[in-house]
Amino acid sequence: MPETTLGVDGMTCAACVARVERKLKSVPGVELVEVSFATHTARIVHEGAPQELLEQAVEKAGYGIRELTPESDPSQVLLDRSTAKRADVILASVLALPIFVISMASHMRPEWVNWALGVLTTIVMASPGRGIYVTAWRNIRHKTTTMDTLIALGTLAAWGMSVYGLLAYRDMHSQSMHVYFESSAVIVTLVLLGRAIEAGATSAMSQAIAKLKKLTPELATRILPDGTHEHVAPSLLRVGDAILIRPGERVPADAEIREGFSALDESMMTGEPFPVERGIGDPITGGTLNGDGALIARVTAASRQSMLAQIISMVERAQGSKAPIQQLADRVAAIFVPIVLALAAVAFLGTGIFVQDWEQASIRAVAVLVIACPCALGLATPTAIVAGIGRAAELGLLIKSGDVLQRAAGIRDVLFDKTGTLTEGKPRLASLHLAAEAENENELICRAGALESASEHPLAKAILAEVQSRDLILPEATEVSAVRGAGLTGKIDGRAFTLSKPSPSEELDPLTERWIERERELGRTVTLLFQNKELLGGFAFEDTIRPSAPAAITALGALGISSEMATGDHERAARSVARAVGISEVAFDQSPSDKLEHATHRRLAMVGDGINDAPVLAQAEVGIALRSGSDIAREAADITLIHHDLMGVPRALALSRETLRVIKQNLGWAFGYNVVMIPLAMLGMLNPMLAAGAMAISSISVVLNSLRLRRWKAKF
């Protein structure tokens, strides 16, 4: 079916996403709608619905259309939006601080000060706070209510009553007692602060997509039929085109090798730490890094159908499917707001009719709206989150946003990547095998080191690290070359040597066969050194287990959280690492889409470090990346472990549970406060000034409770 993608402007929360989806689904012929809050776009699958109708549906929902072009960069749009929201917070804070300080300092103020407070508050509401009132009006037009409706009602009521106080009590000492501008200014500023944090988190998520796109080189070398070369953008490559990939270049498109041999770094796709040898007939993936051999290949997939494009699409959809923080106040607003309005109306009409004092009636109605304005309710979640995120940073945990803490508190399963996560991602020489012809270990290592001295292969680095640790001097190797199927060949002192992986066609002695089988059972990679065709010995390499991994798995078990592992590596290596760290559930030979399946229908946390982990890190309920991992993994994840210590995983989840507990306490207090105070305001026992004071006390209580999180300590 045809697909149409629209840019959507004006969405501020999950409720906006739902409203746009409902309107688009009502268009005849629309089969599927996916609205992404991360990129502010809507993807519509339909049976030929005109784009004009789709755009009209978005506009009827109350949102704008943003033009999308091939050069459109959603991450830049979100970055600009985040920057604008930060500017709004700064302006509102600069204006609200003197309003609050002056209002609380004294109620015996000159009249001109009250007018100044009114002007400053009006600027806060009309400029940085304008979006709150625009959204509230949109809600009214579409017969819905949200947190914005409640905030707009309370702040406008306090502002309106304050303006009335300025005019009705001119030249009177009691004028300040009828002015409540600080309530409006402070509430608006706190709301803007929460939204700026949310926008920053959304912008950070979108950077993962931008960095994935940068894995494709800017230019590809296409070979024309006459043998000449031309440089073109990878997006212009077509299936069947011949391309040249030079040593050290990234592969511009999915292709099949026609000439040449090289070792490619495919860790972005498989997570496998060792480069993979590829030759004639082998497939190669766009975005992977070519080693030291030149390749000629035939393009097998256009840019939009490439594996890298699929990963980008998976990350975009995963991020779009995860709504930003949805506070409890938003969920109950549909019920709470009408009730508050009804109670305010009852207070107004009841006092006016039965007491015959319409000014007092107005004061009581405004007091109800001010007391119901969600100041403590609005502070309940963000103050706990700020304290929790601050404490997490002190523990070496970078948490992107508040909803991460809320989601992490419900985690019961954790899925770990293997390479670079449970392991260091750096092979080391784990075992040596000496054949009868070899003189000693040092000689064996020196010969292998001489052949590998010019190589950047991770296994070569492991051998050279062993040379350095033993303080050995390498002989000179000449005529060194890499031969497909034969490994590395060269001459040392005129004698021919070969360093290669064991081949099924080779006849080896029983002792060597048993050594190879034992090392493979341990998940290790084996290479053998020959002089001519005589075996001299073998090397076994392993990826070192991260020291903190076993303790982290144990700590997660103590929290009632189960641990699993998914890796692109082969079964033996996977099970060996799983046994070493204490994990029983293992999935091996996993592609990025295979890993994504684990998180699609389950609420689990994913811990990874590679580019291939980016889709599942974004899709998972909580994505956790190591600081040593790829930039893309860190951008797609929700939490980054600064110190490379996997104990950060159980600490993050335990801190999240404690933060959620504090949030529930705060919300309980905030709702309880409303239940008690609204009746008092209706009975005239609280005027708007006292209501604002009571609201301040409630807010302080919430803040003090949240600050307890700064002293939280892990039990492990």
275: tokens are 């480069």
Cα–Cα distance for residue pair 541/525, rounded to 1 Å: 5
Stated as kind and residue range, the H or E segment containing 583 is: none
Burial per residue of 531-559, b for 16 or more beta-carbon CB atoms within 10 angstroms, e otherwise: beeebbbbbbbbbeebebbbbbbebbeeb
Cα–Cα distance for residue pair 245/294, rounded to 1 Å: 6
Provide the strand spans (E) within 300-418. Answer: 397-399, 413-416
Neighbours of 592 (CB within 10 A): 24
DSSP label of 457? -
Q: Which residues pair with 116 in a beta bridge?
A: none
Regarding beta strands 64-66 and 3-9, do their DSSP bridges make them parallel or antiparallel, or are they unpaired? antiparallel
Count of CA atoms in the C-beta half-sphere (13 A) of 246:
8
DSSP label of 546? P
Cα–Cα distance for residue pair 363/352, rounded to 1 Å: 11
Cα–Cα distance for residue pair 610/379, rounded to 1 Å: 37
Cα–Cα distance for residue pair 109/594, rounded to 1 Å: 68
Regarding beta strands 283-284 and 255-259, do their DSSP bridges make them parallel or antiparallel, or are they unpaired? antiparallel
Cα–Cα distance for residue pair 127/305, rounded to 1 Å: 45
Regarding beta strands 622-626 and 605-608, do their DSSP bridges make them parallel or antiparallel, or are they unpaired? parallel
Per DSSP, the three-state class of 225 is coil
Q: Which of 241, 254, 417, 645 is catalytic?
A: 417
Nearest residue to 126 (alpha-carbon basis) of 167, 161, 88, 99: 88
Annotation marks residue 417 as catalytic: yes
118: tokens are 């009114």
116: tokens are 């100044």
Show the CA angle centred on residue 693, arms to residues 136 and 665, nearest 5°.
Answer: 75
Count of CA atoms in the C-beta half-sphere (13 A) of 646:
28
38: tokens are 């991360």
Per DSSP, the three-state class of 642 is coil
Cα–Cα distance for residue pair 384/367, rounded to 1 Å: 27
Phi then psi for residue 168, to 5 deg, are -80, -25
Nearest residue to 519 (alpha-carbon basis) of 451, 587, 429: 429
* 125 contacts: CB under 8 Å, gap ≥ 6: 133, 155, 156, 159, 184, 185, 188
Cα–Cα distance for residue pair 165/171, rounded to 1 Å: 11
Q: Which residues pair with 490 in a beta bridge?
A: 497
Q: Which residues are catalytically annotated?
A: 417
